[in-house]
Amino acid sequence: MKIVFLDIYTLKPDEFSWDGFDALGEVVMYDRTSSEELMERAEGAEILLTNKTVLDAESICALPSLKYIGVLATGYNVVDLDAARERGIVVTNIPAYSTSSVAQMVFAHLLTITQRVEHYTKEVRRGAWNAQPDFCFWDTPLVELDGKKMGIIGFGNTGKAVAGIASAFGMKVCLYTSKPQSVLPDGYIKKDLDDIFRECDVISLHCPLTSATSKLVNTYRIALMKKGAILINTSRGGVIDDRALAEALADGQDLWVGLDVMSEEPMPDDHPLLAQERCFITPHIAWATHEARQRLIDQALMNLKSWMEGNVINNVI
């Protein structure tokens, strides 16, 4: 079988062994594939593996050999599922491979804001501490997490992991979830969405991007947030109206923000959030620890082998 990886670059393929795939067929790898290059590269392939390369209805219908699409991510919105279903093409994804890594990034952002380690390291190196008459020096707020309320929006795998870490810090966990209070862990409190924004010191987003969650964090809900509250997003950029968020920060709202995702990626050079000192942005890397990428590759191989053996796993249609 011909196996084509359409966009392998962000996995940093040189760090891993691909022998397991080589044993299953003829493997061709491309760093990136544009829409103009797609048909030529996918021609004759029975198996396509994609991360961000879009496989729309037109391209799926124009590839008669195609039998299997493996999405190298948890989200699978890059594939037209209706077209794949009509053709009888199996589509699989990689659930939960980055749960621990994303939860870790939530607290990397949170501790960046509350402790400002990078800021103080730079200040020490430039001599700011040496110049002080006292044994210590600080020029930003320093915040203790113990006892603070953490609002978690979405209580799937990553939301649960974040809640567990928050509890270990002594934080009070508040949840916006469809799950009933009766099935939630002891001490976790289910709340309405607007109450999360009104009451919580930290809000962490862990919901998928759907028509219901698009711009869930908007002008109205940003205005509800407590003085000095912290907003963290490691889910999908479109869950936040980032222009409204930039406007609130520019207008002086007492708010801190940590973002690993944006509604447009990469973000444009003139994006207004880049000018906001209270907004800390990382370039969509919460998922990208070596360990998480290894799990992704291992699961992608298992998904493919299982399909070949007639036992489809992690299928999304």
CB 26 within 8 A of CB 4: no
Say what the pLDDT of residue 154 is: 97
Answer yes or no: is pLDDT of 317 > 90.
no
Q: Which two tokens stand for residue 176?
A: 């916006």
Average pLDDT of the segment spanning 242-250: 98
Say what the pLDDT of residue 128 is: 97
Query: Is 109 one of the catalytic residues?
Result: no
Average pLDDT of the segment spanning 221-230: 98
Which structural domains are found in the chain, ordered by start? Answer: 2-97+290-308 (3.40.50.720), 99-281 (3.40.50.720)
Reported confidence tier of residue 105, pLDDT bands at 50, 70, 90:
very high
Out of 109, 116, 236, 293, the active site residue is 236
Q: What percent of the chain has pLDDT over 90?
A: 99
Q: What are the angstrom distances between the C-alpha of 21 and each of 29, 130, 162?
A: 11, 56, 34
Out of 86, 144, 265, 291, the active site residue is 265
Say what the pLDDT of residue 234 is: 98
Query: Is 236 one of the catalytic residues?
Result: yes
Other beta carbons within 10 angstroms of residue 224's beta carbon come to 14
Say what the pLDDT of residue 191 is: 98
Q: What's the DSSP call for residue 138?
A: -
∠ CA 37-294-210, rounded to 5°: 65
SS3 53: coil
Q: What is the C-alpha separation between 193 and 216, in angstroms, rounded?
A: 10
- For 136-186, the pLDDT digits (tens) are 999 999 999 999 999 999 999 999 999 999 999 999 999 999 999 999 999
Q: Is the dihedral of CA 14, 17, 19, 21 positive or negative?
A: negative
Pairing of strands 26-29, 229-233: unpaired
Q: What is the C-alpha separation between 188 and 193, in angstroms, rounded?
A: 15
Say what the pLDDT of residue 247 is: 98
Query: Is 265 one of the catalytic residues?
Result: yes
- For 143-152, the pLDDT digits (tens) are 999 999 999 9
- For 197-218, the pLDDT digits (tens) are 999 999 999 999 999 999 999 9
Looking at residue 21, its amino acid is F
Describe the strand order of the beta sheet including 279-281 as a list of residue ranges: 189-190, 172-176, 149-153, 202-205, 229-233, 255-259, 279-281
Answer yes or no: is pLDDT of 301 > 90.
yes
Say what the pLDDT of residue 33 is: 98
Question: What is the length of the chain?
Answer: 317
CB 47 within 8 A of CB 67: yes
Q: What mean pLDDT is reported for the chain?
A: 97
pTM > 0.85 = yes
Say what the pLDDT of residue 134 is: 96
Average pLDDT of the segment spanning 99-126: 98
Q: Within the chain, what is the greatest distance between any pair of CA atoms?
A: 76
Q: Which two tokens stand for residue 195?
A: 């109450």
